[in-house]
Each structure stands twice: as C-alpha cells, then as structure tokens.
C-alpha cells in the first residue's frame, strides 16, 4: 500500500474517534500527578498520557521522526503509515503528538509526495485532536504557515471539522516569472576585475536574486527590493622558491541580518570562486547593485 493512500483523510486521522472520557483530565492536558488524569491515564512530563498504547506504533513513529530529521521524507511517511496501522491493529487511534508530527512531515514532503490540500487537512486534524500550543501541534502549524501566501484559507482552519480543500483563496506569493531582476556592475580596468565580473555574470546570481526576493517578500510583502554589495579584491606575493607569483582573492562585504540584501550577498560570496593570479600587489573594490521587483 502506498504512502499516499495511507496518509489520506480517513479514520486513522479522524478527530471524531471516541476517547476515554473517564473522570479526570483528558490526554494531553497538563498535570502535576497521575491522579489528576483519571482512569487509564498517567502524568508523564507534566501531561496526561493514555496508558493504552502500541509499543510497535511508538517505535515506528520514532523512526518516522528520525527519518524526517534526516531529510528522508518518503521514508518518514512510510514509517508514520506503519505506525498508524500498528495503533489501529490494537484498536487505538495514534496519539495527538504522533498525528501532529506526521502532519508536519506531510507538509515538508511537498506536493510530489502528499498533495497540499491533503497535508493541510492532516494539520487541521492534528490541531483538532491536540491542545493549543503543544510542541508538536505548534511545529505542524508552523510548517503549514509557510504556505499561507499560496491560497490557504485560514477560515477553514477555524472550522470544527476537517475540510476537503484548504487552498481555495487567491495565491498572493509572487512567482519566479513575475519578478524582474536588474544587476549592475561597474566597468573597470583593474587586473582580475574582468575575471571576477565574468564569474558573477555567468553564475546563478540572477536566479538566486529571484529566490532571495521571494524569501524577503514572505517577511515584508514589499513589491520591490534592492541591494548594494561590495566585492573587495586584494592580492599578495607568494614565494614559490625559484619564482614568485601574485595571487588575489575576491571577498564580499557581508551584510548583517536577513532579507534581500544579505541573501544576495551570500550568493555573491559563494560565486567568487578560487584565487586569481595577477602581475603585482594590488587591491580594488567592485560595487554591485541588484534590484528586483514584481512586474
């Protein structure tokens, strides 16, 4: 059975499954001792937890988490699927934390593994079955929040039952095709200058500027951004024994913080490459202006 068929809206994730409503606080609620939690539950790390469990399900859920942290999304999804089956085999519903971790994984896996409407439903079901601000619930909601500009309907998340579709609003996030990028590098006759300029102009700077703009847009929603960056070149004499050479390195002046400018500066720094041989000791500065805007 495929991962996509198991991680789908079904009874495994339903928030309407019957729970043990014996006297005491429900599973997940804070507690100071086990007697706060009532029959069939114990106080574990200051939260009421059900004593009924599937050890196999717990192990498989732990494996899913480890695979997620290692970046193996397909393996993580398969492990969580197996965990849900193990809990179901014992007549149990997977605990809220496990459901929330699986939902976080579904969002992180992307549309290629789990359709985003389906992944958003898993997050909604996680939220409906868990207490506000619990760690796993918050992580799942944070993962979904990164898609809030892609047409996510926030109103549907406040409903008391899961929906079939969540991305029903008009997407606000700019697409790569809608962003115009301008890169300006001054002309100069310094030794090594043309080689550094060629490295920058032939590298991924333009495409990276688009990515940097989209990342910055998520924080500011600004329709335009620009960055002024300086590349500093300095050469020095190297004694090679029987002969001497002059080698220079270009380095970018880092911009503090996050946003469009610092992001572009990091890309420029990564594009400068190895040292460049010149004929003498020298230093120069290359100013670069990068701007991006929504067309």
In a domain, 166, yes or no: no
243-252: b (≥16 Cβ within 10 Å) or e:
eeebebbbeb
105 with 212, same domain: the answer is no
CB distance 121 to 26 below 8 Å: no
CATH of the domain at 39: 1.25.40.10
Do 17 and 131 belong to one domain? yes
Let me know if residue 281 belongs to a domain: yes
- The answer to whether 293 touches 179, Cβ cutoff 8 Å, is yes
CA distance 210 to 264: 9
Q: Which residues contact 272 (CB under 8 A, 6 or more apart)?
A: 196, 199, 200, 231, 249, 250, 251, 252
Are 30 and 117 found together in one domain?
yes
7 and 140 part of one domain: yes
User: Domain tally for the chain?
Assistant: 2
Indicate if 90 and 182 belong to the same structural domain. Answer: no
Residues 190 and 117 in one domain: no
Say which DSSP state 174 is in.
P
The model's pLDDT over 196-255, given as tens digits with 9 standing for 90+, comes to 999 888 878 899 999 999 999 988 999 999 999 999 999 988 877 777 788 888 899 878
The reply to whether 113 and 78 lie within a common domain is yes
Residue 273: predicted pLDDT: 83
Q: State whether 220 and 140 are in the same domain.
A: no
Judge if 142 and 205 occupy the same domain: no
What pLDDT sits at residue 255?
Answer: 82
Same domain, 153 and 180: no
pLDDT tens digit string along 139-154? 999 999 999 999 999 9
**Assigned domain for 202 exists:** yes
pLDDT at 240: 74
Residue where one domain finishes, among candidates 130, 157, 184? 157
| Domain limit, last residue, from 96, 124, 157 | 157
Residue 168 lies in a domain: no
Residues 98 and 187 in one domain: no
pLDDT at 214: 94
Q: What is the pLDDT of residue 39?
A: 82
198 and 153 within one domain: no
User: Has residue 91 been placed in a domain?
Assistant: yes
Write out the residue range of the structural domain in which residue 96 sits: 3-157
Give phi and psi for 81, each to the nearest 5. Answer: -55, -45
Domain-located, residue 81:
yes
- pLDDT tens, N- to C-terminus, the chain (295 residues): 444 445 543 433 333 344 444 467 777 788 889 888 888 888 988 888 888 899 999 999 999 999 999 999 999 999 999 999 999 999 999 999 999 999 999 999 999 899 999 999 999 999 999 989 999 999 999 999 999 999 999 999 999 999 999 999 999 889 999 999 999 998 999 999 999 999 888 878 899 999 999 999 988 999 999 999 999 999 988 877 777 788 888 899 878 888 999 999 999 998 888 889 888 889 999 999 999 999 8
Residue 193 placed within a domain: yes
């Amino acid at each position: 059975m495929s991962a996509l068929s198991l991680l789908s809206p079904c009874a495994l994730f339903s928030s309407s499954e019957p729970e043990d409503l014996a006297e005491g606080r429900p599973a997940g609620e804070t507690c100071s001792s086990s007697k706060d939690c009532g029959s069939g539950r114990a106080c574990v790390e200051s939260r009421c937890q059900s004593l009924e469990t599937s050890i196999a399900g717990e192990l498989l859920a732990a494996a899913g988490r480890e695979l997620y942290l290692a970046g193996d999304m397909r393996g993580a999804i398969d492990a969580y699927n197996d965990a849900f089956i193990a809990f179901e085999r014992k007549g149990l519903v997977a605990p809220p934390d496990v459901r929330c971790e699986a939902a976080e994984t579904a969002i992180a896996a992307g549309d290629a593994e789990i359709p985003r409407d389906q992944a958003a439903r898993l997050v909604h079901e996680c939220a409906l079955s868990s207490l506000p601000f619990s760690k796993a619930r918050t992580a799942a909601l944070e993962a979904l929040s990164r898609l809030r500009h892609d047409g996510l309907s926030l109103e549907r998340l406040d409903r008391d039952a899961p929906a079939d579709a969540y991305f029903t609003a008009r997407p606000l996030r700019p697409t790569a095709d809608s962003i115009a990028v301008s890169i300006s590098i001054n002309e100069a006759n310094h030794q090594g200058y043309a080689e550094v300029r060629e490295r920058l102009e032939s590298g991924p700077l333009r495409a990276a500027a688009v990515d940097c703009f989209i990342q910055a847009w998520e924080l500011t929603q600004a329709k335009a951004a620009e960055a002024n960056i300086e590349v500093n070149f300095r050469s020095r004499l190297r004694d090679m024994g029987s002969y001497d050479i002059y080698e220079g390195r270009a380095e970018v002046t880092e911009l503090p913080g996050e946003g469009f400018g610092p992001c572009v500066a990091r890309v420029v720094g990564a594009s400068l490459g190895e040292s460049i041989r010149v004929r003498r000791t020298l230093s120069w500065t290359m100013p670069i202006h990068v701007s991006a805007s929504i067309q």
